[in-house]
Amino acid sequence: MVSSTNKHRNEDKDKISAEAFDELFEKGDVTPHLDFSTVKVHVPMQRINIDIPKPVLNRIDNEASRIGVTRTAIIKMWLSERLKNTNRA
């Protein structure tokens, strides 16, 4: 089991052998023995190129710098937020 903070695991309580895990898997649910805090989901990416006027790009860069993320990250965040808001309407 994962602790409530997900920072420190109680190794004595959570650790089981590979054989025991295999037996539990064959019998049913093993999710109590998995640590989902480290799971990463692979999402296929598609590279795109867009032309952006320099003044707009400067404003994007300034905002990205202000919040401590990359230009690409802030553009992705903004696009995602806009699409979420569009779907709600």
DSSP characters over 8-63: S--HHHH---HHHHHHHHHHS--GGG--GGG---------------HHHHHHHHHH
pLDDT tens digit string along 6-37? 444 445 446 788 888 888 888 888 888 788 88
pLDDT reported for residue 37: 83
pLDDT (mean) for 46-63: 97
**2 contacts 36 by C-beta, under 8 angstroms:** yes
Average pLDDT for the chain: 83
What letter does residue 3 receive in the DSSP assignment? Answer: -
| 59, two tokens | 């404003």
Q: What pTM was estimated for this model as a whole?
A: 0.52
How many angstroms separate the CA atoms of 74 and 55, rounded?
16
